[in-house]
């Protein structure tokens, strides 16, 4: 009979009565199948150290009292299964520690009482009752895991929006049928970056993205118009202007004097790197002569997105060439608009809904002709897959949501169907590190491109255990949020420095921009690496800018 595997449990402890109140202790625990973190703690308390302090109650993921930090990430101890590998446990961050893994909640309760007592007249805005999905909010078990996972909260204290308090306060609203103000808002809701890390961490599946997006919209409606947010919400408009003469645009945006003027006048940080402009992808596509026609067995409509249309056309050109090479016909609807996330992030949810409705109509005839939809940008694929029907409540977008694939996800299907032969890939010389975008994590499809690129002979890609890059579209470009964005991204910059790669990878264009800004490393979308491993060459930067 095989002996049970033994693993180490490192616990960050705290005892206010000790001279050195904070200390670490390591225990050896025998692993059992389906063993939870709570059972690990109970095993230690019952058989090794009765002084170990932690909370638990329902044991069924309903009370939220057993939340802890597991390997630096918040989790419910009663539902999280351990694998038998060494683990590290500690108290949830952002809460005063009472003892060991027990944190103080009285401050939260006081703050919740203050929020409940807010009056409409004393706050800048209120979230209308009609924008609150009570079936969603009622799932909250008040474990505060969402707040512990919030990247903004790692740096800010007073200004930080706390997702658990927002959910609890909204959930206590008075139900009415009209648009009466149900939840007065504080201005700190503007510091939510819509990264969805709160949703990813929530053990109860509460989706706070819609609440936060519509709260930002209400804040914008109640305040004076701001040119910067209006512009950042329309990257397609900026792209059309910037790509008319991309070299001139980039030189202009690099001018220190002009950037200081932009910071003083509209609030765009002079220290931030602005996305460089290129000749638009759609201009190139009109001249492209595909090998595969619309009669092909597999055909897709390409949702390009603003960044990959105006700021990084290597990604889009490599995507077209790769799929064409594999016998997949790619159509590009020219009437498509911005996905709408930039508007959501800049407080214009109604504008984002209009974009969603427009794109739904643009892609409808393509779906009727049997096309699937692919998206190279993870924010774009998230929007089409879930936010059009969820946050923006566009029922007609249901079929579009069901037939949209992130590019890596679609390429995986081609591997399964024998269309893409990973065994034929050639070695690539660069050492690479990969950052997972928040909006890819939110799709819960894993890391499809890592599974593809890991088949390159002799290739080792360092997959970084990082959270948010800190840029979040245009969030980190704003003067008042630039330092915050850099602080959030510092763990990513440190991880890249430790990894010593030749090239940094991510599907998200803004993530690439932030990685270049924080480390100076060259960056690429993984599809360009895959295209190179297929024995092909990407388009040269100078050629793209002509």
The single residue listed with the structure tokens 């889009």 is: 316
Q: If pLDDT is split at 50, 70 and 90, which confidence band does 93 have?
A: confident
Asked whether residue 454 is assigned to any structural domain, the reply reads: yes
Q: Given CA atoms 144, 149, 152, 158 in this order, what sign does their dihedral have? A: positive
Residue 449 has pLDDT above 70, yes or no: yes
Sign for the pseudo-dihedral over CA of 153, 154, 157, 159 = negative
d(CA 187, CA 436): 30
Q: How far apart, in Å, are the Cα atoms of 436 and each of 155, 273, 413, 469, 515?
A: 21, 21, 20, 9, 12
User: Given a cut of 60, is residue 545 above it in pLDDT?
Assistant: no
Residue 476 lies in a domain: yes
In this predicted model, what pLDDT tens digit does every residue of 150-162 receive, in sequence order? 999 877 766 677 8
Question: Do 129 and 84 have their domain in common?
Answer: no
**DSSP for 91-103, written as a single string:** PPTTS-EEETTEE
Instruction: Rounding to the nearest 10 degrees, give the CA dihedral for residues 15, 17, 22, 26.
Output: -50
pLDDT at 131: 83
Residues 95 and 149 in one domain: no
Q: How confident is the model at residue 536 (pLDDT cuts 50, 70, 90)?
A: confident
- What's the Cα-to-Cα distance from 12 to each of 52, 87, 99, 102, rounded to whole Å? 11, 11, 10, 11
Per-residue pLDDT tens digits for 111-137:
777 766 666 566 777 788 788 888 888
pLDDT at 195 over 80: yes
pLDDT of residue 225 exceeding 80: yes
Q: How far apart are CA 80 and CA 63, in angstroms?
A: 15
For residues 541 and 436, the model is more confident at: 436
d(CA 411, CA 416): 9
Residue 123 maps to which CATH number?
1.10.1060
Q: Do residues 446 and 352 both lie within one domain?
A: yes
For residue 26, the model assigns a pLDDT of 97
Q: How far apart are CA 214 and CA 299, in angstroms?
A: 36
Residue with tokens 């690099």, as numbered in its chain? 254
Is the per-residue pLDDT at 276 higher than 80?
yes
* Confidence check: pLDDT of 106 > 80: no
Q: Using a pLDDT cut of 90, give the percent of the chain over it.
A: 76
Give the DSSP letter string of 236-272.
Answer: HHHHHHHTSSHHHHHHHHT-HHHHHHHHHHH-B-TTS
| Residues 6 or more apart whose Cβ sits within 8 Å of residue 193 | 151, 152, 345, 468, 472, 473, 475
Query: Which backbone phi and psi does 14 adopt, to 5 degrees?
Result: -150, 125
175 pLDDT above the threshold of 70: no
> Based on the domain organization, do 111 and 88 belong to the same domain?
no
pLDDT tens-place string over residues 12-42: 999 998 888 899 999 999 999 999 999 999 9
Regarding whether 287 and 167 lie in a shared domain, the answer is no
Q: What number is the average pLDDT over the span 465-472?
A: 94
Closest CA to 475 of 311, 262, 263, 232: 232
Task: Please say if the pLDDT value at position 178 is more than 60.
Answer: no
182 pLDDT band (50/70/90 cuts)? low
Chain-centroid distance of CA 290 in Å reads 33
Q: What pLDDT is attached to residue 542? A: 38
pLDDT band at 224 (very low <50, low <70, confident <90, very high): confident
pLDDT of residue 27: 98
Q: Are 537 and 426 in contact (CB under 8 A)?
A: no
86 plus 143 within the same structural domain: no
pLDDT 10s digits, 364-392: 999 999 999 999 999 999 999 999 999 99
Written as one string, the DSSP assignment of 305-321 is -HHHHHT-HHHHHHHHH
Confidence (pLDDT) at 153: 82
Determine, yes or no, domain membership for 258.
Answer: no
Q: The CATH number of the domain where 12 resides is what?
A: 3.10.20.30
Q: Do the domain assignments include residue 491?
A: yes
Overall average pLDDT of the 513-523 stretch: 98
Interatomic CA distance for residues 54 and 46, integer angstroms: 13
For the cut 80, the answer to whether the pLDDT of residue 176 exceeds it is no
Q: Which of 102, 121, 142 is the last residue of a domain?
A: 102
pLDDT for residue 46 is more than 50: yes
How much is the mean pLDDT over the chain?
A: 91
237 within 8 A of 365, measured Cβ to Cβ: no
Same domain? For 66 and 87 the reply is yes
Verify that 113 and 65 share a domain, yes or no.
no
- Classify residue 276: in a domain, yes or no: no
Token pair for 333 = 């609807």
* Token pair listed for 457: 């002979």
Closest CA to 397 of 369, 348, 362: 362
pLDDT digits (tens, 9 = 90+) for 403-416: 999 999 999 999 99
Residues 286-309: tens digit of each pLDDT: 999 999 999 999 999 999 999 999
Place of tokens 């609890």: 168
Residue 184 in this model has a pLDDT that exceeds 90: no
Indicate the helix (H) or strand (E) that contains 352.
Answer: helix 349-368
> How does residue 541 score in pLDDT terms, banded at 50, 70 and 90?
very low
- The helix, strand and coil proportions of the chain, stated in percent and rounded to the nearest 5, come to 45, 15, 40
With respect to residue 270, please indicate whether it lies within any of the assigned structural domains: no
DSSP assignment string, 340-351: SHHHHHTT-HHH
State which of 53, 79, 102 marks the end of a domain: 102
307 and 440, same domain (yes or no): yes
In a domain, 126, yes or no: yes
Q: Are residues 131 and 87 in the same domain?
A: no
Look up residue 480 and give its DSSP letter.
G
Residue 544 has pLDDT above 60, yes or no: no
Q: Which of 48, 75, 102 is the last residue of a domain?
A: 102
**What pLDDT sits at residue 165?**
82
Q: Is residue 500 part of a domain?
A: yes
Beta bridge partners of 434: 463, 505
Distance (Å, rounded) from C-alpha 43 to C-alpha 149?
A: 27
Domain count, the chain: 3
Residue 100 and residue 469: Cα distance in Å, rounded?
31
Q: CA-CA distance, 435 to 253, in Å (whole number)? A: 27
Do 94 and 127 lie in one domain? The reply is no
Tokens for 166, please give them.
Answer: 């927002």
Distances (CA, A) of 359 to 281, 302, 451: 18, 12, 30
DSSP one-letter code for 476: G
Three-state DSSP class for 417?
Answer: coil
Range of the domain at 168: 106-222
Same domain? For 214 and 93 the reply is no
Contacts of 244 (CB under 8 A, 6+ apart): none
Any residues with CB less than 8 A from the CB of 12 and at least 6 apart, and which?
22, 24, 69, 88, 89, 90, 91
């Amino acid at each position: 009979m095989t002996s049970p595997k033994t693993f180490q449990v490192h616990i960050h402890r705290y005892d206010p009565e000790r001279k050195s109140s904070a200390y670490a202790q390591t225990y050896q625990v025998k692993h059992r199948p389906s063993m939870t973190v709570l059972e690990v703690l109970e095993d230690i308390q019952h058989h090794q150290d009765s002084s170990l302090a932690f909370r638990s109650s329902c044991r069924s993921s309903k009370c939220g009292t057993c939340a802890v930090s597991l390997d630096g990430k918040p989790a419910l101890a009663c539902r999280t299964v351990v694998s038998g590998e060494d683990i590290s446990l500690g108290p949830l961050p952002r809460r005063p520690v009472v003892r060991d893994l027990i944190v103080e909640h009285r401050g939260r309760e006081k703050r919740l009482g203050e929020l409940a007592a807010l009056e409409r007249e004393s706050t800048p805005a209120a979230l209308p009752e009609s924008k609150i999905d009570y079936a969603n909010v009622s799932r909250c078990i008040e474990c505060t895991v969402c707040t512990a996972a919030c990247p903004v909260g790692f740096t800010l204290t007073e200004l930080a929006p706390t997702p658990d308090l927002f959910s609890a306060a909204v959930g206590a609203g008075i139900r009415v049928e009209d648009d009466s103000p149900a939840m007065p808002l504080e201005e700190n809701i503007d510091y939510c970056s819509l990264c969805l890390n709160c949703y990813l961490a929530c053990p109860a599946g509460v989706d706070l993205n819609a609440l936060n997006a519509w709260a930002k919209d209400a804040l914008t409606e109640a305040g004076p118009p701001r040119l910067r947010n209006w512009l950042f919400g329309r990257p397609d408009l900026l792209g059309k202007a910037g790509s008319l003469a991309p070299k001139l645009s980039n030189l202009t945006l690099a001018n220190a004097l002009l950037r200081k003027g932009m910071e003083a006048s509209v609030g765009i940080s002079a220290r931030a790197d602005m996305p460089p402009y290129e000749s638009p992808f759609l201009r190139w596509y009109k001249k492209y002569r595909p090998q595969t026609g619309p009669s092909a067995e597999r055909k897709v409509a390409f949702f390009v997105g603003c960044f990959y249309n105006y700021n990084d056309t290597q990604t889009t050109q490599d995507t077209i060439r790769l799929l064409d090479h594999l016998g997949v016909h790619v159509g590009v609807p020219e009437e498509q608009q911005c996905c709408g996330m930039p508007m959501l992030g800049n407080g214009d949810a109604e504008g984002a809904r209009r974009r969603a409705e427009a794109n739904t109509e643009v892609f409808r005839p393509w779906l009727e002709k049997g096309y699937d939809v692919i998206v190279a940008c993870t924010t774009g694929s998230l929007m089409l897959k879930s936010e059009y029907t969820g946050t923006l409540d566009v029922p007609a977008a249901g079929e579009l949501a069901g037939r949209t694939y992130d590019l890596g996800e679609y390429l995986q299907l081609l591997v399964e169907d024998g269309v893409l032969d990973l065994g034929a890939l050639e070695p690539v010389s660069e050492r690479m590190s990969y950052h997972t975008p928040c909006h890819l994590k939110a799709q819960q499809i894993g890391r499809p491109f890592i599974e593809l690129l890991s088949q390159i002979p002799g290739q080792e890609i360092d997959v970084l255990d990082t959270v948010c890059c800190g840029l979040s579209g245009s969030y980190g470009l704003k003067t008042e949020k630039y330092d915050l964005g850099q602080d959030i991204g510092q763990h990513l910059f440190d991880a890249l420095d430790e990894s010593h790669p030749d090239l940094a990878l991510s599907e998200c264009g803004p993530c690439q921009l932030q990685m270049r800004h924080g480390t100076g490393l060259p960056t690429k979308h993984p599809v360009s690496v895959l295209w190179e491993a297929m024995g092909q060459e990407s388009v040269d930067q100078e050629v793209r800018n002509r």
